[in-house]
Structure 1
């Protein structure tokens, strides 16, 4: 009788776990990994019907070495990992991508328009990225759509190695925080004093980069090599037109909660939504039944432990 109760509880738990998959087909679950990314959760997905809208479509592509890698199709950015968790409450969830850097190997000014996120489901994370410039006699800046800008300058040093633990404080490397709600910018690289003839050679670079990655990798970054891509964190939310088509948008439940983000994108007022499993639940809040209760799991465990413990005692 005891084992029948345990079996019944386990069966109920298994059914609750399977319910999360009812909103998407089994074929979508079979395609939820690509290369080194083992979990591509809904609302992202690979294949028709496996993602909430085009912004969340992922394609599995082979690089020049034939290795598969997941790519956000509309942005053409490689996905490094996806998080459904709301790390900073009331911010969007995140997707970590491989983002191109900008370099200039001449002594003249240059500029580059970056991948634009305007009117998309993504913004550059204010909390987890920073702007970095590397090189000798380098002034780099981010220029925004309203013509405002931020930037920093790095002067010369004989050292070839950047050490972030030295604060990247303006000697061959400089860094600054970015603005919140950032979705588009232009990168510029200029000599520190354009009136003077160039006295230095070598390439200069400027890029947005994930703060934690740069902190951990800083002591290994060599000034003599220009990185083509670095990790960048994007925050994401489902635009209201797509969110309102989801079954969870028309329900209220104790297991999960959703909230809206109102912001200006490309001079237009936009709303997107992020969901999370409430305290005591975990899983995927974008799927029907996607947040099974931690409490229920704990009850199953402790009941099993209580009934099985006498059989484990040996004298």
Structure 2
């Protein structure tokens, strides 16, 4: 590379002076709007296929921009077809920044009810990668709904000393300078599903009392929810800062959502073939390609300018060459070589910096000592994982969760792996401690951790690949070809219980999983259960009985006692396991809709059915037909014990493992006797 740089510099010295400098005519300005069309409204630049006034200025009615006069005397651009204010059009990325409506409840001078946000039938959808669903309020369950079903949600809580009306406290906790987002205290957030075109938001109280019940009514506190830009509130006032009463610059806080009507969000768009009228012929200078996953039911297209060109790829001859003379090309070559060398050095130093920061030296030292029997080949390079996942291509995504995104990859030796990319940085010492412990776990019902990559800002974890998805998908999307039998349900329950028993009692130090749910239980090629996703797990000392933390988890599986006290014990994992056991019995989702009652917790509904002696009404019909009621009742009683509101009354995972084994033996003996009688 150094020789390449030297060669490039020599070429510059010898050849460049012999060529005339290019004139201004050699560098035409890139075209971004059609001739004769207005390009700006209220300081916002409008690029084709968007346009104003004359129909020739925009590709079709969906992309018409209306420049409206404001009450202050200025102007603002609006996407006329959807009546949404536009803040920026990013043509080469297929994005539009808009001001998105906010849903409010019990907020002064704000309407409590609001119509559904609907982009259906248009070439626009909410960007999954650039947005998040956010809710602000105390002790609330927030649901993101689309097409009549819940597609996401989150839970926000407040401690006893916090008050939603104490905005000074809230603003100190959540200012725009805090880039860590909100994670459950006063506000919560979650990612969006792909191709979301219509939605509304609902809010419920999560009562912090002894009953730990949820209600469809919302308390008198001001609460809000909306789809917002992934980086909000930092981006809210990028173009114009506002000042407070003291004349100081004011950085927006999460609590501002309650007082706003609109918040910044991002929508994606594409050109439809039926509307573009032979797209490729329209844009001969552009690189246009057909989208394999179109946003809509029509054939979608994206375009960009070729390398070395800039401008608007959606206009005929809209892409102009940046540099054209031979001397300039040689000059570019030298710059390119210099850039490659410098970039390689910067990347190498950055990888070394992250490796040290993430505890790589400590990990190497620990592995080289005799204290750990971990595999020596557990450190992966970033280059290897980028190649394995096709540079973390979105088509390789296996799943997304609160902790991060998991990608499918193939190593150079042909081994298929799952690579977990975290969203937020954790404590390095905790990460190393957890990694060392998990790398030593040898339990066939725990997903095996193969290694990690410490060359990135946030460490990457590499796990064995589990081919048959998760238990949630298997239960709720059963096929006639491979239905889940009673034997499989009982075996899966035993495998989960045994793995948790191992983590709680047989690992070198107790491990609390803290996020047991059916989506975190994977099924291998033989449909054996494997517990996954230890992102929220904690390792505690043998002497400790509980862990005091900020409440986090998945509602529907969350231990009510933990929610009230913020103290997580091994019995909190037991409660979550009880919900999974009920899922296996009923094939019902942990949160479901009941006619006339709204959302209901599966755990509370199951206990209610048992207390009213209506157990068989909720049990999966396949189970009722397949096995005797005595076996169903035995497992149901175990599940009920797990769901006790008082954690001390719940069994341990050791007791549950032995009890499930006993039930399975009784079933086998019963089947053997029946077969003997038939013969």
Shorter-chain TM-score tier? 0.7 to 0.9
Q: Is the 8 A contact 1:43 1:52 kept in 2?
A: yes
Query: CA offsets, 1:129-179, max 9 Å, x none?
Result: 000000112221111116242111111234332525454111111011111
Corresponding residue of 1:98? 99
Q: Rg: which structure is higher?
A: 2
The one of 35, 40, 64 equivalent to 1:25 is 35
Query: CA offsets, 1:174-200, max 9 Å, x none?
Result: 011111111111211121246679996
Q: Distance in 1 between matches of 2:325 and 2:189?
A: 46
Does the C-alpha gap of structure 1 residues 233 and 102 become closer, same or farther in structure 2, counting only changes over 3 Å? same
Aligned to 2:67, what secondary structure does the other structure show?
strand
- The question of 1:269 aligning with 2:297 is answered yes
Q: Select the structure that is richer in strand.
A: 1
Q: Select the structure that is richer in helix.
A: 2
Q: Is the 8 A contact 2:308 2:322 kept in 1?
A: yes
Q: Distance in 1 between matches of 2:143 and 2:68?
A: 33
Corresponding residue of 2:49? 43
The one of 83, 87, 91 equivalent to 1:84 is 91
The one of 65, 69, 81 equivalent to 1:62 is 69
Corresponding residue of 1:211? 230
* CA deviation after TM superposition for structure 1 residue 279, in Å: 1.7
The one of 259, 284, 303 equivalent to 2:289 is 259
The one of 274, 281, 294 equivalent to 1:250 is 281
| Unaligned ranges ≥5, structure 2 | 1-16, 164-168, 208-212, 238-250, 332-679
* CA deviation after TM superposition for structure 1 residue 298, in Å: 8.0
Q: Distance in 2 between matches of 1:127 and 1:297?
A: 40
Query: CA offsets, 1:52-94, max 9 Å, x none?
Result: 00011001101222220000001111110110123xxxxxx10
Q: Is the 8 A contact 1:141 1:189 kept in 2?
A: yes
Does the C-alpha gap of structure 1 residues 196 and 131 become closer, same or farther in structure 2, counting only changes over 3 Å? closer
Q: TM-score, normalised by structure 2?
A: 0.37
Q: TM-score, normalised by structure 1?
A: 0.76
Aligned to 1:181, what secondary structure does the other structure show?
coil
Q: Distance in 2 between matches of 1:211 and 1:77?
A: 18
What does residue range 125-274 of structure 1 map to in structure 2 within 5 Å? Answer: 125-145=127-147, 147-156=149-158, 157-158=162-163, 159-161=169-171, 162-163=173-174, 164-165=178-179, 167-193=181-207, 201-215=220-234, 220-221=252-253, 223=255, 225-244=258-277, 249-250=280-281, 255-261=285-291, 269-274=297-302
| Unaligned ranges ≥5, structure 1 | 87-92, 304-315
Aligned to 1:202, what secondary structure does the other structure show?
coil
Q: Is the 8 A contact 1:136 1:200 kept in 2?
A: no
Aligned to 1:75, what secondary structure does the other structure show?
coil
* CA deviation after TM superposition for structure 1 residue 243, in Å: 1.4
